Structure 1
Amino acid sequence: MTAKAARTDKLDRATILAMVAMSLVVFVIANDFVAMSVALPRMEEDLNADVSLLQWVINAYALVFGVLIVPGGRLADMFGRLRVLYVGAAIFALFSLIGGLAPDVYSLIGARALQGVGGALMWPAILGLVYAILPGSKAGLAGALVIGVAGIGNATGPLLGGVLTEFASWRWILLLNVPITAIAMFVTWRVVKVANPKEREPIDYAGIVLMSISLISLLIALTEAPDTGWSAPLVWGGLLLSAAMMGLFVLRERAAGEAALIPGSVMSNRPFLYACLAVLAMSPTFFGALLYLPQYFENIFDQNPFMAGASLLPFMAVFAVASFSEPWLLNRIGMKAVIVLGAGGMFLGPLLLAVFARPESTLLFFVPGMVVLGIGVGLFYSSVTTAALTSLDPTKSSLAGGLVYMFQVAGGAVGLGITTTIFLAASNAGIADGAADVG
């Protein structure tokens, strides 16, 4: 499949095979965010490790992925998306294997962090490749495919993780990544033929370092704040360091011009900037649902982790279906209408959950809110990703995809840090009131 051939409106066999292959990679990247969560109790026994330490098996992957996805997108645009995809796939598969064979928790955490490096290289490269090989009339499929398949990966992650942990071993969650990634890359190598850039821009190493330190400090501070309190030195120190490094990063980017990690022409593009800000504003809703709905099902409905993940299926399945429906809607009602419709669903869904969900309610009462929220999330993220990609020059589509996802992670992290603090404060107040009543 060549970029030139992609400009026809018909999806040929090579394009379809390429889409399937890259969808497999997106699936395993997304699946690995959530599949390990249900295996933590078994890993605690096998590795003789504390649960608080094991949380970093999940956090290390997500943190590194979120921090490096923008540099990954920039590198893909500069050196060629296929090259970066192959390098990322090799890193991802290698450290999936090492993690699956890890003898202790520290080796596993290290492998998961480096697995995140591979994922951060692959994700924006895939988004840019899919956009490049699709016909212009089907550009909306790029965002819809990646977001939709990621939704399926997130939805089935707890189920697959639970099945593998129960009937084989948690290690197979990682080991299965190796053959899946290898098959997907072989198919991609056979059918995707996209020219690499002839001229290479200089790499803004200083910008990468400054932004990485800023984001790592921010995400660690927000992760620790609910447990240690916002006045803890680690939290406020992390926030101050993040702000200082971000200030230096902005100064560095202005001095670097178009050679910057994030060129000025990208963030000065108003449609792209508005798309990123919209993602930043709406992401706390999505991340909050992913975190608190399973906890509610476990604590109130007394479900095990596997069943709590299965109970999210109405939300995640509709999310995937809505994502794949976005190109069809896009051609009928337009980009802005789809984005507004998606944002409306993300606003209305939590309201329905708040109205109908009660401790005495059954799971059935949660379904309307989860369905509406799933429709909103699927339509919003796929359409706003398409809007971001199409607002910039095609040579920067991987960077665009990486930036959109970075804003999603940042918005989710900030929202979760604040809502978790409120949640814990309300819980502690409830416990205190209960103790006072007993006394």
Structure 2
Amino acid sequence: MSHPFKAVSLSFKKAPLAIRELLSLDEAACRRFLHTLHHDLGLSDLLVLSTCNRTEVYYAADDDRSREIILALGDLKARADIGDFLPYFDLLTDADAAVQHLFEVAMGLDAQVVGDLQISNQVKNAYQWSADADAAGPFLHRLLHTVFFTNKRVQNETTFRDGAASVSYAALELVEELTADVAQPRVLVVGLGEIGADVVRHLADHRSDYGEIVLCNRTRARAEQLAEECGGLRVVDFENLVPALKEADVVISSINRAEPFFTRELAANLEILSFKFFIDLSVPRSIAADVEQVPGVLVYNIDAIQSKASAALELRLAAVPQVRAIVAESLAGLQDWAKEMLVSPIIQKMKASLEQIRLEELDRFQKKATPAESKLLDEATRSLMQKVLKQHVLHLKTACKRDDADALVELLGEIFDLEKQPVA
């Protein structure tokens, strides 16, 4: 692809959770980072995507600006040791590779749980932030709209999104596995963001397997709304969290904060008499690593939520070749558009040249013409100009698809004396 599109990626494939959580960004941080990259580094076509599994920057620049971007991320996160993290980053300096990667991320092909739906919404949010910051150029707009169109095709034409295989569903499966020997286990979910809310919905669908499902969120109204949606679940305030923790067999946390909320000291005061399972879906982690040192406590973080061989996942894996074929079609269309964009300035110059000739000739003849004849001359010459231009544009676009436009551009430049024409 001729566009200078590139990407910097830190993901679960190379970076463990301990590294990812240090460099993760919430919405406010993503917006600040966009401003820095756009205004301080002068980058365009920007997309900043940060999830529990990845922190990525997509950008357009003639030169590789990866190191500057990583250093700027280090400044944002106040990490003077950012250089130590360089081996964990993938630097995609080829436009084809960067575009392909974004498609695979957005479709869920590159997800920890294949086909995870949540990443699609996260990409949409990242695109909105870029548009709000006026950091999305024509290429990124076209690219993201192509991504969203492709996503709809995948949804409608394949089984890739069928079933409930996702990070939140994998969390449910982990709960079922851990509590297989516990009669009517009690589950407490703390933090009801997108993933936490999805976990609650999955638990509610299997409520007969559980003694109680309890919700806790900083904003109680959010917890009450979700509890009602799920058919009536118990809600506790943050102030009453400790008694709820003591009652629970499983604690699922998806709290969004910079430092762990659940500490070893907190866990040690829970008077644990049997095994208590803590499942941390947050990045950065909301459960401190040393909590597991408390007797009876077992902690599982996001990296423990692996793709499980469920029927839904098998359907998705079987659909991967079909998804890749749809992506390939979209990439081919995007490639044609990018090539045509290269000759767009030539087309505008040709149009300006023909319009100038048309107006000069009209000026010669209109002096002797009646108003009716003048109007007819204007319409006739405009129609003639459009037909001439259309033929040349079609030839140019065909040549672009053959990667053979250079000779035709040079010939048209001589015919229409385009060097003297300003870009419209």
User: TM exceeds 0.5?
Assistant: no
Whichever of the two has the greater Rg, that structure is 2
More helix by share: 1
User: What TM-score does the superposition give when structure 2 sets the normalisation length?
Assistant: 0.23
Return the structure number with greater relative CO, CA threshold 8 A, min gap 6.
1
More strand by share: 2
